Amino acid sequence: MAKIIVNGEAKEVQLPLTLSELIKQNNVSQPEMVSVQVNEDFVDRTEWPDIQIKEGDAVDFLYFMGGGM
Amino acid sequence: MFDFTEEQIQRYSRHILLQDVGVEGQEKIQNAKVLVVGAGGLGAPVSLYLAAAGIGRIGIVDADVVDLSNLQRQVIHFTKDVGVPKVESAKEKILAINPDVKVDTYREFLYSANALDIIKEYDFVVDGTDNFPVKFLINDACVMAGKPFSHGGILRFNGQTFTHLPGTACYRCFFKEPPPAGAVPTCSQAGVLGAIAGMLGTIQAAEVLKYFTGVGQLLTNRLLIFDAKTMQFRTIPVKHRPTCEICGEHPTIDHLIDYEQPTCELKKHKKS
Ligand SMILES: [Zn+2]
């Protein structure tokens, strides 16, 4: 098990794990509506399947919010 | 230099009493020109608080008229205003709160052909719009024009905001491009708790006042998010991305883009 931080909260995950798999595990129902940062760096969605999660990684899901009116 | 009248000293006394603002800060507020794009859920509290604060000039962009379904959150519009252009309704309330404010109204949609022309008249831009095409347009236009802006987004029980100054992270740095139009929940599906608009809009207004008075730390390189269900607030560090399509080292976007409008715009056009 590896300790990582997802959206600011500590979590334990089984490695190996790709970023795409982590997104699925976190029940992101609409991956199109989320932007992802790993260790505060933006990760393009085309790279999600290739990114391997490592012990200590901090992953943030930034949700698109289009409302305002 | 400080030519405030007795009445103004009284009106702005709670600002002037603040050590970080004072008469000097109030004068900066009075000299400020702010553009508010969208006179809706976010634009309403932003405009009301900026007017009350004594911002010298406020521009408002909105093509729509007030609809009954707006009144649940767009507190600048009253029941009597249904059917009235939002910019006119907003101007009336701004002047009723503070006749010192000069108000410019733009009853039009912001798009690639008018954005730079309108923005160039102002020192700061507030995004109070309800769709991604315009949010990206405001970002790109402000980056191109070197203007600071406040981004705001709300959905259901959530809100997000950050402030951009030239050189700091822009919307594209961490959101890159609009989500596919088909993935975006339509206005009627999504919904929003009315008070969320007030929560986020007042944060945006506070950022504007901080910017002009130079007080504290702005929400630059930080995305503030909150969930009103739990009342958890979080600021996520974000950063300028060297590969950013608009503000990066080799920008690939050299003109403003009109992305496909989301579906909820259609209903508005049909009505009238
Ligand atoms: Zn950028």
What lies within 8 Å, CB to CB, of B51 at 6+ separation is B58, B93, B94, B97, B98, B101
Measuring CA to CA, which residue among B121, B101, B105 is closest to residue B59? B105
Closest residue to B42, CB basis, from A33, A62, A68: A68
**Residue pLDDT, tens place only, B91-112:** 999 999 999 999 999 999 999 9
* Both tokens assigned to B119: 């923005």
Checking if the pLDDT of A8 tops 60, the result is yes
Q: How many interface pairs between A and B have CB atoms less than 8 angstroms apart?
A: 88
A44 touching B, CB under 8 A?
A: yes
Amino acid B266: pLDDT: 46
* Both tokens assigned to A22: 């982590």
Residue B1: band (very low, low, confident or very high) from pLDDT cuts 50, 70, 90: low
Rounded to 5°, the CA angle B257-B41-A62 comes to: 60
B222-227 and B149-155 beta bridge pairing: unpaired
Q: What distance in angstroms lies between residue B169's CA and the mean position of ligand 1's atoms?
A: 5
Complex-level ipTM: 0.95
Residues around the ion ligand 1 (C-beta < 5 A): B 170, 172-173, 244, 247
**Residue pLDDT, tens place only, B125-174:** 999 999 999 999 999 999 999 999 999 999 999 999 999 999 999 999 99
Residue B139, domain member (yes or no): yes
**Residue pLDDT, tens place only, B198-217:** 999 999 999 999 999 999 99
Residue B11, domain member (yes or no): no
A9 touching B, CB under 8 A?
A: no
What lies within 8 Å, CB to CB, of B41 at 6+ separation is A67, A68, A69, B73, B74, B128, B130, B154, B192, B194, B196, B197, B201
Claim: this prediction has a pTM higher than 0.80:
yes
Domain tally for chain B? Answer: 1
DSSP state of B142: H
* Both tokens assigned to B116: 């730079």
Residue of A nearest to B190 (CA): A67
- Percent with pLDDT over 70 in chain B: 94
Amino acid B262: pLDDT: 60
At B92, phi and psi to the nearest 5? -60, -45
Asked if the Cβ–Cβ distance from A68 to B132 is below 8 Å, we say no
**Residue pLDDT, tens place only, B32-90:** 999 999 999 999 999 999 999 999 999 999 999 999 999 999 999 999 999 999 999 99
With contacts defined as CB-CB under 8 Å, which chain B residues touch A65?
153-155, 158-160
Measuring CA to CA, which residue among B15, B10, B13 is closest to residue B32? B15
DSSP state of B37: E
Amino acid A39: pLDDT: 98
Closest residue to B175, CB basis, from A40, A64, A69: A64
Asked if the Cβ–Cβ distance from B236 to A63 is below 8 Å, we say no
**Rounded CA separation B38/B40 (Å):** 6
**Residue pLDDT, tens place only, A27-66:** 888 899 999 999 999 999 999 999 999 999 999 999 999 8
At the topology level, CATH places domain A2-63 in Ubiquitin-like (UB roll) (3.10.20)
Q: Which CATH number is B168's domain given?
A: 3.40.50.720
Closest residue to B41, CB basis, from A7, A62, A69: A69
- Percent composition of chain B: helix, strand, coil (DSSP 3-state, to 5): 40, 20, 45
Asked if the Cβ–Cβ distance from A68 to B129 is below 8 Å, we say yes
**Rounded CA separation B146/B24 (Å):** 25
Asked if the Cβ–Cβ distance from B154 to A65 is below 8 Å, we say yes
**Residue pLDDT, tens place only, B171-203:** 999 999 999 888 887 555 678 999 999 999 999
**Rounded CA separation B80/A19 (Å):** 52
- Can you give the residue range of the structural domain that contains B55? 32-265
